[in-house]
Copies of this chain bind each other. A is one copy, B any other.
Amino acid sequence: MSRHSETVINVINPNMTVTMTELIAKAAQASASPTTRIVGRTARFGAASIEGHYDEAIAAVGMLREIEAGNAEGCHAHVIACFGDPGLLAARELSAVPVLGIAEAAMHAASFVATHFSVVTTLSRTKVIAEHLVRNYGMEQHCRKVRAVDVAVLDLDKPEANVRGTLLGECQAALREDGIGAIVLGCAGMADLAHDLSTELGIPVIDGVAAAVRFAEALVGLRLKTSKHGDLAFPLPKMRTTL
């Protein structure tokens, strides 16, 4: 699949909204090294947007199918482009190559450039999901607060939602109240806003899609692969259904 010296990264949008995949893939390619080629994929099973535990559970299965597709085509790494990182460990189990979640990548990047950050996500009901990730990734001492702007994922690109203005206001509140040095954007659909917000706020504003792409390149460059020893070894052979 890849030409010589080209790194191919399989960027999966776990929700089924193709316009969002396009936004994500475009942001991913814009953030990538010149020698990286982004392959954008959309889950073909799951939900139009991922805004809860149930959406995550069904989206994970759709996403995993695209992991398999990427593996079949010989991609060099995968990025799961939904801030809840649905199915991350399962995807690692399926893959010899590295897999990164965008929440994971964004939080780790934030911890490299600031001692504390806050997350700004979409709906209040998904704050719990981000908080669980904060704990699972050992980020409790870096993440001060998870905030929400209460805009639905599929409204992010609607002008009347005034997402940029709403996000900016919430980021400013975080800067004023949370004792932070950086912001993590809590949705793949905000990928195109990070640089602009960062310039306006004067602090790092981190989009997980870009961060995951660059960290995936780093792991590929390091020739580091997902460990196949222990719980991330390939799934045991057994009867399984397929979509």
Residues of A within 8 A of B (CB): 16, 31-33, 44-49, 51-58, 60-62, 64, 87, 89-90, 92-94, 98, 100, 104, 108-109, 111-116, 124-129, 132, 135-142, 152, 154, 175, 179-182, 195, 202-204, 206, 210-211, 214-215, 217-219, 221-233, 235-236, 238-241
Extra inter-chain contacts (5) besides given A32-B221, A112-B219, A113-B227, CB under 8 Å: A16-B241, A52-B93, A56-B90, A57-B61, A109-B222
> In the complex, which of the residues B108, B179, B226 contacts A113, with contact meaning CB atoms closer than 8 Å?
B226
Cβ A115 vs Cβ B89 within 8 A: yes
What's the number of copies of this chain in the assembled complex? 6
Assess A52 versus B109: contact at CB under 8 Å? Given A114-B230, A139-B138, A180-B230.
no
Distance between A200 CB and nearest chain B CB, rounded to angstroms:
13
Which chain B positions have C-beta within 8 A of A215? 112, 215, 218
* Contact across chains for A231 and B128 when beta carbons are under 8 A apart: yes
Q: Within 8 Å CB of A219, what residues of B?
A: 109, 112-113, 214
- For the complex, give the distance between the alpha carbons of A127 and B181 in Å: 13
